[in-house]
Chain A
Amino acid sequence: MPSLTLLGQSVISGLLAGGLYSLLALGLSLSWGLLRLVNLGHFALAFLGAYLTYHLGTVLHLAPWLSVLIIVPIFFGLGVGLHAIFVRFGVTEFTSLLVTFGVTVIVESIIQLVWTADFRRFETPYATASIKVGPLFVPTLELLTCLTAAGLAFATWAWLRFTYVGKALRAAAEDPAMAAAFGVNHRAQAFLLSGVSAAYAGVAGGYIALISTLAPSQIWAWLGVVFAVVIIGGLARPIGALLAGLLIGVSESVTMAVVTPAWAPLVSFSVLIGLLVLRPGRV
């Protein structure tokens, strides 16, 4: 039997890993749920953000938070630009999978061209800092990632629920014709949402740069688990994405601690399949 300390540590580790899953899932969930675009390019943008944070930090010696402040508006513009291309070419929910897959491959190639296929590590003095709580350790950066994910999830939820733009976006996703009849300018709001999703990818990228060692191929490493989080959490449900991320993170981590690490990748998809069986109308 694993010790209580081991169990407690694995739960903390899972919660914090789940925070990053949620942060990555947030933008994807919004664009899929409200724009009906399955944006695989979200992962590419997140890693582009990570590489830019690394570059600004190691070459220009900018603090990571300052880098993120620069990256976020740029990525907002990138998101708007990408959406303009999608609109121009009439990309649908299904074709968005193919188009954004292409975007991801292109971004991966650009990253490899600029920063090579070799590993890049943004060394910071606080990378391995932890807060000690009794016998348990809470890694500071991961905690900050988790808090950021929670903050953004609640802010996005409030935005969608209480503001005119949020309500209009939800209405347009539900019934575009009826929303238009009520004067909703879905086109303009879609650009805004696309920009926000891409900006979230930039924020996630900043944390990825600080937490992980970077390699271009790692873009694909997060794809499966984050998609599972999006589907489990429900499309366009920010709080759902947060909770699903934490659930998957803890499930994986406890499986690693109690059973074997080799079984951890099965967890997210087992939870997903279980949910789809129990609640088939989820997506």
Chain B
Amino acid sequence: MMTRLHQTRRLAAPLAGLILLALVASTGAAPTGPPIRIGSTLALTGPLAQTALLHKIAGEIYVEELNRGQGLLGRPVEWIVLDDQSKPDLARSLYEKLITVDKVDLLMGPYATSAILAAMGVAQRYQKLLIHNSFGMPHLAKYEMHIPVNPFGPEPNRTIPATVFDALAATSTPPKTVAVVTSKFPSTQFISAGARDVAAQRGLKVVLYLEYEFGTRDYGAIAARIKDAKPDFLWVGSLGLDSNQLLEAMRKLDYMPPRHLHLFPAPGPLATAPDGKLALSTTDFEEHPPFTNNPLATRWVTLFHERATKAGVPYIRVDGQAANEFAAWQVLEAAVNATKSLDDKALAQWLLKNKVDTIIGQLRFDGPNNFGDDLTKVKQVQEGKWVVVWPKEYAAPGARLLPP
């Protein structure tokens, strides 16, 4: 485990670089020439729009900051974002359009596993680099020029549950029975099925395993089954609002499991809901030290708050979703600056051989299917906001995994 001192040292070099970059940028000329056009889609409408909006805000901030400095290779950057309506088939068509009609210089990935997989096929056909930041099924990503920025590691179905169960095992009342309830959305189902297996391997009794359709409206019967199973710990393979709806349904039955974790919930509604108290989830960035122990992160968090407020987002705190988008742009900028090129193959080759320091930590892309380390942390809702509680060296100051 890395100590906080080591972590500070690790961050010192990139931090010095960033300060130097800021100084150069402040004295250097504004970007000139034809813009470098970077194309992507995001789920601006449809069921994934709530989270994709956070990605859009994060990306816009990065591009504006880039253009406020020296741009890329001294040229301004133009980000073309199309709405894939949360539909992978539409994402596929739009990436085709971005490459063949809009003739963008570079690509940035869409939001969520299904759309990324669709875009990856197009990128592969045209041999374009695809940097993306929310892909949950690494074993399906066979394209050699895809760069996964979300730090799930090559086996998130094994490593993410392991991190969660490690955190629970370190408490004074570790669970003995587990219920796993998951959406059939590909990545959540994949990781949650892994949670069931990891729990069993660790000697925990899996008292319930259920899958429900993405878009389920009524959680009453699911809540009744969980209540019937009486688990010590409930793992919810949720996406977006599922968690809130399930918790409300359980509350109506006057039941709440002692501990519950939600895989990919909408962060705001769960943190602010009365039933979300002490809920657990996973992340790789939250807006507290040690994540914000550098000026770049502090500035980015401030800018995000301003933008999110302006965009009418009710919960404006930065979490892993927005941070992953920001990190994806950091990875792209690092590769372009290092290679002094916009050539997709040159950029991909550089990224596959080098590590990149980002807001979510140091990333590498030389593992199986280009995935590097799993940097997952466990977070918990405490006093209406998410704070990291595990591993201890990343915990918010004074925070620990609170018992039920």
Contact = CB atoms under 8 A, between A and B. Distances in A.
Given A117-B53, A121-B273, A257 B221 contact: yes
Nearest to A258: B221
A139 B268 CA distance: 25
A82 interface: no
B222 A215 contact: no
Given A112-B49, A121-B269, A253 B221 contact: yes
Interface in B16-75: 44-47, 49-50, 52-53
Contact of A262 (B50, B184, B223, B311): B184
Interface stretch (B137-145, B198-206, B207-215, B347-355): B207-215
* Most chain B beta-carbon contacts within 10 A, residue among A142, A216, A261: A261
A256 B225 contact: yes
Nearest to A116: B312
A14 interface: yes
B213 A215 contact: no
B266 A119 contact: yes
Contacts of A185: none
A17 B218 contact: yes
Interface stretch (B89-97, B244-252, B337-345, B356-364): B244-252
Interface in A209-223: 212-213, 215-218, 221-222
A265 B184 CA distance: 13
Interface stretch (A32-40, A83-91, A124-132, A189-197): A124-132
B248 A128 contact: yes
A216 B248 contact: no
Contacts, number: 141
B288 to A, nearest CB: 22
A249 B221 CA distance: 11
Interface residues of A, number: 50
A3 B268 CA distance: 36
Contact of B269 (A2, A14, A17, A213): A213
A13 B45 contact: no
Nearest to B229: A6
Contacts of B3: none
Contacts of A108: 45
A257 B208 CA distance: 12
B228 interface: yes
Contact of B224 (A117, A221, A257): A257
B82 to A, nearest CB: 15
Interface string A31-59: 00000000000000000000000000000
A253 B217 CA distance: 11
B225 A13 contact: no
Contact of B211 (A5, A218, A252, A262): A262
Contacts of B266: 118-119
B253 A130 contact: yes
Interface string A96-128: 000000000000110010011111110100011
A116 B313 contact: yes
Contacts of B366: none
A252 to B, nearest CB: 7
A215 B220 contact: no
Interface string B247-287: 01101111000000000001011001111000000000000
A14 B49 contact: no
Interface string B283-314: 00000000000000000000000000001111
B270 to A, nearest CB: 10
A112 B43 CA distance: 13
B148 interface: no
Given A119-B241, A215-B47, A217-B45, A13 B218 contact: yes
A119 B240 contact: yes
B216 interface: yes
A74 B282 CA distance: 44
B217 A222 contact: yes
A67 interface: no
A137 B248 CA distance: 13
A257 B225 contact: yes
B221 A254 contact: yes
A5 B228 contact: yes
A218 B222 CA distance: 20
A232 B241 CA distance: 30
A9 interface: yes
* Most chain A beta-carbon contacts within 10 A, residue among B184, B212, B244: B212
Given A17-B220, A128-B248, A118 B313 contact: yes
Contacts of A261: 210-213, 216, 221-222
B221 A256 contact: yes
B86 interface: yes
Contacts of B44: 117
B212 A262 contact: yes
Nearest to A253: B221
A93 to B, nearest CB: 28
Contacts of A128: 248, 251-252, 274-275
Contact of B216 (A5, A254, A257, A264): A264
A17 B241 contact: no
Given A117-B53, A118-B53, A121-B244, A137 B254 contact: yes
A5 B53 CA distance: 42
Contact of A10 (B50, B86, B221, B252): B221
22 contacts: A2-B225, A13-B218, A13-B224, A17-B217, A117-B50, A118-B312, A118-B314, A118-B315, A123-B274, A127-B248, A137-B252, A213-B245, A216-B45, A225-B217, A256-B212, A256-B225, A257-B225, A262-B212, A262-B213, A264-B213, A265-B213, A265-B216
Given A212-B245, A213-B245, A256-B221, 5 more contacts: A13-B220, A108-B45, A130-B252, A217-B86, A218-B47
Interface of A: 2-3, 5-6, 9-10, 12-14, 16-17, 108-109, 112, 115-121, 123, 127-130, 132, 137, 139, 142, 212-213, 215-218, 221-222, 225, 249, 252-254, 256-257, 260-262, 264-265
**6 smallest A-B Cβ distances: which pairs?**
A13-B220, A117-B49, A256-B221, A261-B212, A128-B251, A139-B252
